[in-house]
Amino acid sequence: MTFRRSAFGRASTVGLRTLTTSVTDQATGPEEPKFLQAVELYFDRASKHSTASPDTLRHIKSTDTVLSVTFPMEKNGKTVMIRGYRSQHSRHRLPCKGGIRYSSEVDLQEVEALSALMTYKCAVVDVPFGGGKGGIMINPKDWTDAELERITRRFTLELCQKNFIGPGVDVPAPDVGTGPREMGWIADTYRNFYPQDVNGAACVTGKALSLGGVRGRTEATGLGVYYGIREFLGYPEVQKQMKHHGKIQDTTVIVQGFGNVGYWASKFFESNGAKIIGIVEHDVAAYNPSGINVEQLSLWRKEHGTFRGFPDAQIISEPMTVLEAECDVLIPAALERQIGLRNAHRIRAKLIGEAANGPVTPGADEVLRTNGKVIIPDLLLNAGGVCVSYFEWAKNLSHLRFGRMNKRWDERSKEQLLALVEGNAGRELSEVERRQLIHGAEEHELVYSGLEDTMIVACNETRQTALEKNIDYRTAAMANSINKIAASLAGSGSIFTHA
């Protein structure tokens, strides 16, 4: 395949808050709405198809509470002021839930938008949380590990003092620029601030296993992306629109972003027979129409810090050209605003699965749908992370590993049943066959099962609403979310609203 240099110039970003990658600059124009405005536009479009009253819609749309803090941190003999945010968009269900990201481009507008998206995301997959989000305005690459620990612990202290963290109040998780290490620092700080809280481990999710994490959390979002796209490919109307056979086997996939979500989504598609023909990063892209070995590419980047020089794929200096390349499925798994009005008409994928938050702008969404593309929205497709965070939270509150109480009992029950079958069949199974049949579920298998069931149900609900109302999947998922939140609010009553 021949790639041409993108014809787009850098877009003006005066007055716009974006996570500025070269792709963002080439994809979006200054006339397109900011992230928070985009989320609100999607909400307004879906609200017309909901059963909620105008007053309830205004309540759902508004952000409940926002915390903005600044604190000093010494670096190279100078004092630097650090700014952090935490937004609790909705407390119709508690605790609030959402990640904490470290980025120099974090701001209040972004945090509010992401917290709103978390509210709708939790509702659409029936996770009993309100939406939250947080961020610290730093580039983690500019700070040492010791400095990052001090920043994380100080921010956690601010959250503790303002009652913005706790197992029943607000539960953070990893996001861009953070991971299990930072979650461990948060959990430890909370434990020292509230040593009497026996459920303190549930104050944060995405922790290491040694600190109360759950097996399967690391790959959860990527696995949820796989389950969601697999379900949609199985729907006859999607197959007809895509002119696709509906199977994962031999489906061609391009993934934008090779962080945690992009890596695991690629791995699950590859292991189930799909061909990963392109992987796009912020500076370069790897392309091979015969398929890329995901693990080999990952190991190469870990060793060399870049895709450049990888021998088993064509390395493209203009990543936009691979994003726009022909394929069955395109998975934007990087940052927001990666497909905008400047490049939407060039996207040749048949299905776009939004693994990132807000990768498609409202204008681009309309262009893509007009061009016959299937779009699986972010609030549905990337909900795997919060779903398994819910499992981790529940595990921490129960103080019990999943499977610990029933694994051996299940195996013994299967052994007894197998003995009866062998007696009636007149032959004994081999030891390998026997172990496969009587195997009791491990924690990660139970987590995978719970996540798969959650995604199947949520995808089917979205599909049914889309078919019944003749609307797109994003609007259908958002309408379902609004109706669920409205039902929760109605059931709770409103003693403080009316005299």
Report how far Cα 150 is from the mean position of its chain's Cα atoms. 27
Strands 130-136 and 78-88: antiparallel
Residue 496 near residue 61, CB atoms below 8 Å: no
Q: How far lies 65's CA from each of 75, 87, 89, 184, 410, in Å?
A: 31, 6, 6, 25, 46
- 96 DSSP β-pair partners: 130, 170
- 171 DSSP β-pair partners: 97
Q: CB count, 10 Å around CB of 36?
A: 21
* Residues in CB range of 333: below 8 A, 6 or more apart: 222, 225, 255, 256, 257, 259, 261, 262, 265, 355, 356
Residue 195 near residue 166, CB atoms below 8 Å: no
* Residues in CB range of 122: below 8 A, 6 or more apart: 93, 97, 128, 129, 130, 131, 383, 386
Tokens 């007055």, located at residue? 15
469 a catalytic residue? no
Element (H, E) at 101: strand 96-102
Q: How far lies 365's CA from each of 94, 216, 340, 418, 474, in Å?
A: 32, 32, 8, 53, 9
Cis peptide before 95 (omega within 30 of 0): yes
- Dihedral angle of Cα 155, 157, 160, 161, to the nearest 10 degrees: -110
Longest dimension (CA), the chain: 81
Burial of 37 from C-beta contacts in 10 A (0-12 / 13-18 / 19+):
middle
Q: Which of 133, 275, 373, 395 is catalytic?
A: 133
Which residues are known catalytic residues? 133
